[in-house]
């Protein structure tokens, strides 16, 4: 096991911590305040943020959509350059944070920002970035990842850069209390699959990472079973912290990682607009059935450690997939296309073609999901 790990994002966690912005954002900063559809003005978060920022120069940029579109974000980049802003503050969920990362990087680049997503340009710098998180799901508040859509061409691509690590993230679980159930469910599922992408892979000599991944999976499973307590402070705290820990880099150190479910899921969102988390639960069971020979050992372990199953061998591994589907269905999440409103008889073919066009194949931790295996996964998922 070899790795080099540093996560420079400071986490400020707990109720009332938005006030800490007063000491987190430099006093002389010229701030671009990015947020989404305006819910932060209804739940009191915007007022807390503006109060904490005090007399700092602040220019607001609202309207960052779910699965942020590059055309929207490029307007924010232009605003940063025109107003000579030097700090980006994202107030929202993963989409706003991902969008802010793009803006922070693109503002330091003279070319077309989309070059960052296609990897024609590797960011060499970015504006400093802070986060006030209002939705627990992606872990983007303390990692290097960003996913941006270009709806005009039906693309959804990702980039990662050390330069876009947020300087800090304020996590106040009480702000989650006003979220609709769908967003809480999506966040729980998103975090769960994030852990799976780093856990349901090749067994290795990483007992700390493996054990912590199982703690996170078990915690999220428990939260799902106690969903009727979702407005309780302890429940919200556990969701927000688990989602952060699922993708802050810790459990992935020294671990062979997968991410095939995400790569395929992104194509569903790009083409059909399906919620990110719901694309993951739609794809994952089919993917696990196809890759069972490679993942059997970890599926067996997950069945015992997370779902409390007994038995051994292939039967236990398949039982784990059944338990996983039941877990998702109990939350109202789709596990196949017929569980959604998507009506496209050639859905599998369209997604496979998109994977090919975006050079996503082969997929998986072993690079074993070629076009043939991807077609089987999609045929299973699109039933």
3-state secondary structure 322-378: HHHHHHHHHCCCCCCHHHCCCCCCCHHHHHHHHHHHCCCCCECCCCCECHHHHHHHH
* 109 closest CA partner among 117, 150, 166: 117
For domain 181-381, give its CATH number from 2.60.120.260, 1.20.1090.10, 2.60.15.10, 2.60.40.10: 1.20.1090.10
Q: Report residue 33: phi and psi, to 5°.
A: -95, 110
Distance of CA 172 to the CA centre of its chain: 18
Number of other CB atoms surrounding residue 372 within 10 Å:
8
Q: Where are the domains of the chain?
A: 10-175, 181-381
Number of other CB atoms surrounding residue 106 within 10 Å:
29
For domain 10-175, give its CATH number from 3.40.50.300, 2.130.10.30, 3.40.50.1970, 3.30.420.40: 3.40.50.1970
pTM: 0.95
* 316 closest CA partner among 294, 335, 288, 297: 297
User: Cα separation of 28 and 263, whole Å?
Assistant: 40
Q: What is the pLDDT along the chain (383 residues), one digit of tens a residue?
A: 889 999 999 999 999 999 999 999 999 999 999 999 889 999 999 999 999 999 999 999 999 999 999 999 999 999 999 999 999 999 999 999 999 999 999 999 999 999 999 999 999 999 999 999 999 999 999 999 999 999 999 999 999 999 999 999 999 999 999 999 999 999 999 999 999 999 999 888 899 999 999 999 999 999 999 999 999 999 999 999 999 999 999 999 999 999 999 999 999 999 999 999 999 999 999 999 999 999 999 999 999 999 999 999 999 999 999 999 999 999 999 999 999 999 999 999 999 999 999 999 999 999 999 999 999 999 999 99
């Amino acid at each position: 096991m070899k790795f080099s790990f540093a996560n420079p994002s400071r986490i400020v966690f707990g109720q009332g911590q938005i006030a800490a912005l007063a000491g987190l954002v430099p006093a002389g900063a010229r701030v671009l305040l990015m947020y989404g559809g305006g819910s932060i003005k209804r739940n009191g978060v915007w007022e807390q943020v503006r109060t904490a920022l005090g007399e700092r120069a602040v220019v607001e940029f609202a309207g960052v959509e779910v699965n942020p579109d590059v055309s929207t974000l490029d307007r924010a980049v232009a605003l940063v350059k025109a107003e000579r802003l030097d700090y980006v503050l994202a107030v929202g969920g993963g989409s706003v944070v991902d969008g802010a990362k793009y803006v922070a990087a693109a503002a330091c680049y003279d070319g077309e920002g989309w070059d960052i997503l296609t990897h024609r340009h590797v960011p060499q710098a970015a504006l400093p970035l802070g986060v006030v998180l209002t939705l627990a799901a992606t872990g983007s508040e303390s990692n290097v990842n960003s996913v941006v859509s270009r709806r005009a061409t039906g693309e959804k691509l990702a980039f990662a850069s050390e330069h876009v690590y947020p300087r800090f993230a304020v996590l106040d679980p009480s702000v989650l209390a006003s979220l609709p159930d769908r967003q809480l469910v999506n966040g729980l599922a998103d975090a769960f699959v994030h852990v799976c992408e780093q856990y349901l892979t090749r067994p290795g000599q990483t007992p700390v990472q493996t054990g912590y991944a199982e703690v996170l999976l078990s915690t999220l499973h428990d939260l799902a079973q106690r969903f009727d307590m979702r407005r309780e402070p302890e429940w919200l705290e556990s969701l927000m912290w688990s989602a952060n820990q699922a993708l802050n880099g810790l459990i992935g150190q020294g671990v062979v990682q997968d991410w095939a479910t995400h790569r395929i899921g992104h194509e569903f969102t790009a083409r059909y607009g399906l919620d990110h988390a719901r694309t993951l639960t739609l794809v994952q069971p089919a993917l696990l059935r196809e890759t069972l020979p490679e993942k059997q050992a970890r599926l067996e372990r997950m069945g015992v450690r997370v779902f409390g199953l007994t038995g051994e061998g292939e039967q236990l591994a398949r039982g784990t997939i059944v338990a996983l589907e039941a877990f998702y269905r109990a939350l109202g999440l789709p596990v196949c296309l017929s569980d959604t409103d998507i009506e496209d008889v050639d859905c599998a073919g369209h997604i496979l073609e998109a994977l090919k066009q975006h050079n996503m194949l082969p997929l998986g931790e072993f690079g074993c999901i070629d076009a043939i295996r991807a077609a089987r996964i999609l045929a299973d998922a699109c039933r």
